[in-house]
Structure 1
Amino acid sequence: MDGLSSMQTLEALSSLLSTRDENDDDEDPKIVQASAKLGPGNIGPPASSVKPIKEATSTYDKQNSKAIWDEDEVPEGAQFDDLTDPRPEPEYEIILKQSVGTEDLFLGMSRKDPSSMCCEGMLVRVKLPGTKASEVVLDVKETFLDLRTPTHKLGLHLPHPVHRQEGKARFITEKEELEITLLLNRPMDCINRA
């Protein structure tokens, strides 16, 4: 604060803020000369007394300085996007499921509602005409489902994260349809379902 209270700084500030007419003859030549040398950047303590600001340390440290991006920055399933693959995408539908009892339906005893936040599972139905069960290759990640057959290819980004190891798949030969049942994995489920 000692730099702000100096007389020279106050005179410079007063001359910068003054609204005198340029043709006034009663100006003090010392003040005019000082204001000609000083500008808005000179107000305050001299630059030599200002401590340099330390560069902020980031919590993110790159492991490999030559890497363009981190593995966490690449969306899951991006390696399966093949734009040159001519196989069509099959018809599919996603159905969110929740287990509801009579106490939920008629009495409203639990805090369940029809929203997707109360759902425990997800059912993905994929129509695969002309496909046998032995030809289906299925890979389920936490947020991505990869399904491939000789005639179809489906790369599906799931609307909610799932437990990848706890899913079930069943091929219905009569309908030529694959049903994939997945258990949802959301971080606040223990609170929402309590």
Structure 2
Amino acid sequence: MDCLSSAQSLRALSALLSTQEVEEEDDDCKNVTFAGMGPGHIGPPSKKDKGVPSAYKKKNGKDIWSEEEVAEGSQYDDLTDPRPQPEYEIVLKQSVGTEDLFLGLSGKGPSSMCCEAMLVKIKLPDTKATDVILDVKEKFLDLRTPRYKLGLHLPHPIHSKEGKAKFFSEKEELEVTLLMKRPTDFINM
């Protein structure tokens, strides 16, 4: 029975590219495992694949985790704090002119890559502006009031020193406008 499958094709390609001799396998289609095969299985197995993956290797023997593994803002997480989280909404904003809307001259699109700012609207019923404590980091927004707490991990990095916050007493809402930090700022004007 001649049975061709993507797993067998990957094994054949791997055997061609491999410098080591590979044992001949049975051509029976029932013994082939498809779930474990992928593009990473092409070629000889690398030395780093054996043993502990490099992502889990510790630099210092006494370290439990590396600094890259700890999310920014995790120091604000307090599981014993009974205050509820207020309702919030994140809106991405971009400056669009008539040349963008009608002619498409600047190359801006509706994607989040073309957005310049992030607006976070936070509903704070029965709260005064003087009660609000706000701390903004590059990827984390921390809001504390006597009635509410919000620890929000932001979807995009922002410039923490260039934001604005405005409290609307009639709507009982805080609006925080944050300028986004993107590595492609020089491309998206």
Name the TM tier (shorter chain): 0.5 to 0.7
In the TM superposition, what whole-angstrom CA distance separates every residue of 1:72-121 from its partner, at most 9, and x where no partner exists? 32100111111111111101000000000111111111101111110000
Query: SS in structure 2 opposite 1:145?
Result: strand
**2:114 corresponds to 1:118:** yes
Question: Is the alpha carbon distance of 1:127 and 1:94 closer, same or farther for their aligned partners in structure 2, counting shifts above 3 Å?
Answer: same
Q: Which residue of 2 aligns with 1:128?
A: 124
Superposed, which structure 2 residues align to 1:1-194 within 5 Å? 62=59, 65-191=61-187, 193-194=188-189
Aligned length: 135
Contact 2:73 2:153 (8 Å CA) reproduced = yes
Deviations 1:135-184 (A, max 9, x none): 10111111111101000010111111100000110111111110000000
> Which amino acid counterpart does residue 142 of structure 1 have in structure 2?
E
For 2:84 and 2:58, the matched residues in 1 are separated by 42
SS in 2 for 1:68: coil
Contact 2:72 2:139 in 1 (8 A): yes
Superposed structure 1 runs of 4+ greater than 4 Å apart: none
- What letter corresponds to residue 110 of structure 2 in structure 1? P
What is the aligned-residue identity percentage?
72
The structure with more radius of gyration: 1
Structure 2: unaligned runs, 5 residues or longer? 1-46, 48-53
* TM-score under structure 2 length normalisation: 0.67
AA paired with 1:105? L
CA separation of 1:114 and 1:68: change in aligned 2, threshold 3 A = same
Please tell me the residue identity of whatever aligns with 1:77.
G
Q: Which amino acid aligns with 1:183?
A: L
Over the aligned positions, Cα root-mean-square deviation in angstroms equals 1.8
Task: For 1:61 and 1:129, locate their aligned partners in 2 and report how far apart those are by CA, in whole Å.
Answer: 47
Instruction: Give the distance between the partners of 2:138 and 2:61, measured in 1 at CA.
Output: 28
Deviation at 1:71?
Answer: 2.3
Letter in 1 for 2:142: D
Letter in 2 for 1:84: T
Q: What secondary structure sits across from 1:72 in the alignment?
A: helix
TM-aligned CA deviation for residue 66 of structure 1: 2.2
Aligned residue number for residue 28 of structure 1: none
